[in-house]
Every structure is written in structure tokens, then in C-alpha cells.
């Protein structure tokens, strides 16, 4: 018998289980039946909370993105100045990757576009519509982080220029994290944050109209 949990706790449990499964096998590599089994619930219980696998995946992307955004926002808000905010933001990002690698893989590992078990790509509406929605959800996360960073860039430049640089910083963090996860290289998130901040700050100091 499935243990009865309050609806909010059950939904949280289902999201946590789905995160690990999707990060490991990708959206197209797992069924709702398998997700229900992994969570220890029946498929009807899973469908009570999420109307479809796509709905579940999209909510999970939003949930993970919100958590990453919260970590960066809290870290930069408590920093003492512009240079410290850059370092704190990078360190928070890398700490999130270290502590929640499945969440990072879900967002930026391309798991929504995983191939079928035989190695071929999916074709048709199920693949294209899902991929567009998933890519849009990830862009939403990247845009939100960039907007938060843009207001921290202390330079005499217009808003478009500021936003462009902010997206560049997001890409710097994301690309470094991809390498970090792919190579399984351990390390100190704070040290990595300082190293990337040194690079970013040297460039930001030279920015002008």
C-alpha cells in the first residue's frame, strides 16, 4: 500500500524522484509507469499530480531553475561590493552544480533531447514540440539569471550592452560547469568562483560605451 502523504509533500517527493530519473535517463528514456514505480506510487497517483510526463518535466525545469536562481540571488545580495558580488554569484552557481549535479544535468545536459535506446533520434510532433518547450523553459532560466546579473554590472553602458554582458557571464558559468561535470573533476566551488570572477572582473573593468 502506498503511504499517504499530504498533497504538497507527495508532489515534492514525486518531483525529487523524477529529477533523479530524468537526469539519468532523459525525458524520452523513461515512462510514467517507470516514474511511478521509482517513486513507490501507482500511476493514477502520479497522474493526480501531473497531467502528463511533459507537464511533469516542464514543472521540474521551472522548479530547478527557481532553486538555482534563489541560490545566486541570496549569495549576491549578501556580498560586500561589485567585485564580491561577481565572485559570490559564480561560487553559488558552482556550489549548486556540486551539491545538485542531477539538477544541473536536467537543465543544461540536453536530457530532454535524449536519443531512443537504439541511438536514433525521435521524429515527429512528440519530439519537436517537447524539445521546443524544454528549450524555452531553459532559456527562461538563463534569461532570469542574466537579468539578475545585469543590474550588478557597474559600468557606464546602456541596458542592451549590460544585458549582453550578463548573458556572456551566464554562458561562462554554464560552459565551465559542463566541463566540470563531464570530466568528473572535483574541486572547491569557492576556488572555482574566484578564478572565474578574476577573469570576468578583468573584462568588466575595461567595459565602456
CA separation for the pair 137, 65 (Å, rounded): 9
Per-chain mean pLDDT for the chain: 84
Q: Single out the residue of 138, 205, 147 nearest to residue 174, CA to CA.
A: 138
Which residue bears the cell 559564480?
A: 90
Degrees (nearest 5) of the Cα angle 33, 112, 63?
A: 80
User: What per-residue confidence (pLDDT) applies to 33?
Assistant: 96
User: What per-residue confidence (pLDDT) applies to 116?
Assistant: 40
59 confidence band (pLDDT: 50, 70, 90): very high
Q: How far is CA 80 from CA 29, 83, 92, 170, 207, in A?
A: 45, 8, 15, 21, 21
CA separation for the pair 131, 183 (Å, rounded): 26
DSSP for 96-131? HHHH-HHHHHHHHS-GGGPPPTTSPPP-SHHHHHHH
Q: Over the stretch 136-173, which tens digit does the pLDDT of each residue have?
A: 999 999 999 999 888 887 778 888 988 998 899 899 89
Q: Over the stretch 63-115, which tens digit does the pLDDT of each residue have?
A: 999 999 999 999 999 888 878 888 899 999 999 999 999 999 998 875 454 43
Q: Over the stretch 170-205, which tens digit does the pLDDT of each residue have?
A: 998 998 888 887 776 667 888 888 988 888 877 776
Burial-class residue 134 by CB neighbours within 10 Å (0-12, 13-18, 19+): buried
Specify the pTM. 0.82
User: What per-residue confidence (pLDDT) applies to 182?
Assistant: 79
Which residue segments constitute the domains of the chain, with CATH numbers given?
52-205 (1.10.357.10)
pLDDT of residue 1 exceeding 50, the answer is: no
The residues, any chain, with a CB within 8 Å of residue 48's CB and separated by 6 or more, are: none
Phi-psi region of 107 (alpha: psi -120 to 50; beta: other; left: phi over 0): alpha
Amino acid at each position: 500500500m502506498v503511504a499517504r502523504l499530504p498533497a504538497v509533500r507527495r508532489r515534492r517527493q514525486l518531483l525529487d524522484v523524477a529529477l533523479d530519473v530524468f537526469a539519468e535517463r532523459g525525458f524520452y528514456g523513461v515512462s510514467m509507469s517507470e516514474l511511478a514505480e521509482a517513486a513507490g506510487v501507482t500511476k493514477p497517483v502520479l497522474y493526480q499530480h501531473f497531467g502528463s510526463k511533459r507537464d511533469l518535466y516542464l514543472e521540474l525545469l521551472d522548479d530547478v531553475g527557481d532553486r538555482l536562481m534563489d541560490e545566486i540571488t541570496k549569495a549576491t545580495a549578501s556580498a560586500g561590493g561589485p567585485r564580491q558580488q561577481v565572485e559570490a554569484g559564480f561560487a553559488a552557481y558552482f556550489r549548486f552544480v556540486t551539491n545538485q549535479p542531477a539538477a544541473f544535468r536536467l537543465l543544461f545536459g540536453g536530457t530532454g533531447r535524449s536519443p531512443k535506446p537504439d541511438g536514433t533520434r525521435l521524429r515527429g510532433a512528440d519530439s519537436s514540440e517537447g524539445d521546443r518547450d524544454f528549450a524555452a523553459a531553459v532559456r527562461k532560466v538563463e534569461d532570469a539569471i542574466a537579468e539578475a546579473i545585469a543590474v550588478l554590472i557597474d559600468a557606464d553602458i546602456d541596458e542592451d550592452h549590460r544585458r549582453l554582458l550578463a548573458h556572456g557571464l551566464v554562458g561562462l558559468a554554464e560552459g565551465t560547469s559542463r566541463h566540470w561535470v563531464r570530466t568528473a573533476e572535483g574541486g572547491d566551488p569557492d576556488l572555482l568562483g574566484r578564478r572565474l570572477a578574476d577573469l570576468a572582473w578583468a573584462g568588466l573593468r575595461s567595459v565602456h560605451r
